[in-house]
Amino acid sequence: MKRRGSQTMIRMICSFAVLAVATPASAETLMLASTYDEVGTNADGSKYTGTVDVDVISNTTFKIRWKIGSTVYSGFGMRMNDTLAATYTVNGEPGLIIYKVGDDGVLSGIWSIRGQNGSGTDRLIPRK
């Protein structure tokens, strides 16, 4: 009988452990800087710089606006843990960028545009 009770207790502990890992904690507020300095590379290796404005609209979503030279790209994104993904449009084609959020708040990303070969990189440094 003791063994059965021990097995039941172990199962209960394991169940709680799984729930603790699988169940997200209450939604934490998405914390992003409102303005970033941007440096990146195109798929062909050429470099670019710009500025990026971010407007958090919920605990997991945000609007984003990249200004590179005189061109502005607008998009919508979402967060999952320390990863951000955003969509945008270039000449009528959808693009996707995925950023990893660093401990220092720097966003390091990779992007592509539908129908184009290769991918580019993007790095956003929060303005202080």
Evaluate whether 76 touches 47 at the Cβ level (below 8 Å).
no
Rounded CA separation 101/107 (Å): 5
pLDDT digits (tens, 9 = 90+) for 23-56: 444 456 678 999 999 999 999 999 999 999 999 9
User: Cα angle vertex 112, ends 107, 35, to 5°?
Assistant: 30
pLDDT digits (tens, 9 = 90+) for 67-126: 999 999 999 999 999 999 999 999 999 999 999 999 999 999 999 999 999 999 999 999
pLDDT digits (tens, 9 = 90+) for 76-85: 999 999 999 9
- 97 lies in some domain: yes
Identify the domain containing residue 62 by its residue range: 35-126
How many distinct structural domains can be found in the chain?
Answer: 1
- Tokens 């401990």 sit at which residue? 103
- 9 lies in some domain: no
pLDDT number for residue 22: 43
Evaluate whether 76 touches 66 at the Cβ level (below 8 Å).
no
Rounded CA separation 11/19 (Å): 12
User: Cα angle vertex 33, ends 31, 37, to 5°?
Assistant: 145
Rounded CA separation 66/83 (Å): 18
Q: Element (H or E) spanning 5, and its range?
A: helix 2-22
Here the CATH number for the domain that contains residue 57 is: 2.40.128.120
Q: What is the pTM of this model?
A: 0.77
- 50 lies in some domain: yes
pLDDT band at 7 (very low <50, low <70, confident <90, very high): low
